[in-house]
Amino acid sequence: MAYSIFLRPAAIRDLKQLPADARERIEAAIGALKDNPRPPGCKKLVGFENEWRLRVGNYRVLYIIDDSTRQVTIARVAHRREAYR
């Protein structure tokens, strides 16, 4: 059974500000989270219970997995130098 994807307003703003080619790659990666919210290469963030990071080129997708409701919440999409500030 697939997970549902929810984007926070901050993530939507982040996506709108990205270059078109990067946005397409990131949107494809976010779409793939429906079938597998923990794809190869993703990492759990230290110090958080359910927060994960997905690397897409120089960008990072920060998201929260809720297995009980089968929902993935995209919190932020940012360049790697700004993602963890």
Here the tokens at position 83 are 């993602």
H or E element, residue 77: strand 71-79
Residue 70 lies in a domain: yes
Q: Model pTM greater than 0.85?
A: yes
pLDDT at 83: 76
Q: Return the SS3 of 11.
A: helix
Range of the domain at 32: 4-79
Strand 43-44 relative to strand 4-7, pairing: unpaired
Q: What is the tally of structural domains in the chain?
A: 1
CATH of the domain at 71: 3.30.2310.20
Residue 85 lies in a domain: no
- How many other β-carbons are positioned within 10 Å of the β-carbon of residue 32? 13
Cα separations (Å) of 17 from 7, 8, 23, 40, 78? 15, 15, 9, 27, 10
Residues of the chain under the 70 pLDDT cut: none
pLDDT tens-digit profile of 49-66? Answer: 889 999 999 999 999 999
